[in-house]
A = this chain, B = another copy of it.
Amino acid sequence: MATISDIANKANVSRSLVSRVLNNRSGVSPENRKKILAAIKEYNYKPNALARALSNQKTQTIGVVMDDLCDKFVFDLIKGMQDTSEKLGYNIIFCSGRANNEVKFRYVDYFMQGRTDGMIAFGSRLSDGDVFKEMIEQPNPFVLIEGYIPDHEFNNIQLDNVGGAYKATKHLLELGRKKIWHVTGDLHFNVSLDRREGFLTAMRDAHADINETNIVCADFEEELAYKRISALLRDNKVPDACFAGADKPAYGVIRALYENGLRVPEDVAIIGFDDDRPDTFDMLFPRLTTMRQPLYEMGKAGVETLVRSIENPDWGPTRVVFEPELIIGQTCP
Residues of A within 8 A of B (CB): 1, 44, 46-51, 53-54, 59, 63, 69-70, 72, 75, 78-79, 82, 86, 91-96, 98, 103, 106-107, 109-110, 112-115, 137-139, 222, 248, 251, 255, 278-281, 283-285
User: Is the Cβ of B91 less than 8 Å from the Cβ of A94?
Assistant: no
Chain A to chain B contacts (Cβ below 8 Å), 7 pairs: A44-B138, A46-B109, A46-B112, A46-B113, A48-B54, A48-B114, A50-B115
CA distance A110 to B49 in the complex (A): 8
User: Is the Cβ of B79 less than 8 Å from the Cβ of A75?
Assistant: no
For A107, the chain B residues whose CB sits under 8 A away are: 91
- Return the contact of A94 from the options B69, B106, B137 (Cβ within 8 A): B69
- Return the contact of A278 from the options B70, B75, B255, B278 (Cβ within 8 A): B278
User: Is the Cβ of A281 less than 8 Å from the Cβ of B279?
Assistant: no
- Return the contact of A110 from the options B51, B91, B96, B138 (Cβ within 8 A): B91
With contacts A50-B53, A91-B95 known, what are 10 further pairs, Cβ within 8 A?
A1-B139, A49-B110, A50-B59, A93-B94, A115-B115, A222-B280, A251-B281, A255-B283, A278-B280, A278-B281
For A95, the chain B residues whose CB sits under 8 A away are: 91-94
- Return the contact of A50 from the options B50, B98, B222 (Cβ within 8 A): B50
Q: A44-B137, A91-B107 are in contact. Are A113 and B69 (CB under 8 A)?
A: no
User: Is the Cβ of B278 less than 8 Å from the Cβ of A113?
Assistant: no
- Nearest B residue to A2 via CB reads B139
CA distance A3 to B222 in the complex (A): 50
- Nearest B residue to A72 via CB reads B72
For A115, the chain B residues whose CB sits under 8 A away are: 49-50, 115
- Nearest B residue to A285 via CB reads B281
Chain B nearest CB, measured from A97 CB (Å): 10
For A283, the chain B residues whose CB sits under 8 A away are: 255
CA distance A324 to B255 in the complex (A): 33
- Return the contact of A280 from the options B93, B96, B251 (Cβ within 8 A): B251
CA distance A281 to B138 in the complex (A): 45
For A137, the chain B residues whose CB sits under 8 A away are: 44
